[in-house]
Amino acid sequence: MRRLSITAVSVLNALSQGVKYGFDIIDATGLPSGTVYPALSRLERDGFVKSTWEEETSAHSEGRPARRYYRVTSTGSKALAEATSHYLALIPAIVRRGRGR
């Protein structure tokens, strides 16, 4: 499986923690919309995320546009676990390098 970027890991992690739609992903990750939405598109294209649109009548009854809801697929969960393990394994080397070793 190809390695995921930190952005993709951040977005997948937010989704796996229960965040469901774009603006909440932006809030959860601190990433700008110009980063989050392209990442979501790539993740969906690659099969790591699925999306569905909410019923417009529900959204309009709340006075807002319809939201696109995202969820992590089983392939996305596996990719997130592998990427998280990879990046966590890098931390000791980064810390040692920061100490000048």
50-75 average pLDDT score: 95
Domain 6-98: assigned CATH number:
1.10.10.10
pLDDT of 90 reads: 85
Strand partners, 13: none
32-53 average pLDDT score: 97
pLDDT of 1 reads: 59
Q: Do residues 27 and 83 lie in contact, with contact meaning Cβ atoms separated by under 8 Å? A: no
68-79 average pLDDT score: 97
Show the DSSP H helices in 20-99 as ranges. Answer: 22-29, 33-45, 56-61, 74-98
Query: Where are the domains positioned within the chain?
Result: 6-98
C-alpha–C-alpha distance, residues 100 and 11, integer Å: 32
Query: Does the pLDDT of residue 11 top 80, yes or no?
Result: yes
89-101 average pLDDT score: 78
Percentage of the residues of the chain whose pLDDT score is greater than 70 = 96
What 3-state DSSP class applies to 70? strand
Q: Return the minimum-mean-pLDDT range out of 2-6, 67-71, 76-80.
A: 2-6
Query: Does the pLDDT of residue 101 top 60, yes or no?
Result: no
What 3-state DSSP class applies to 45? helix
12-38 per-position pLDDT tens digit: 999 999 999 999 999 999 999 999 999
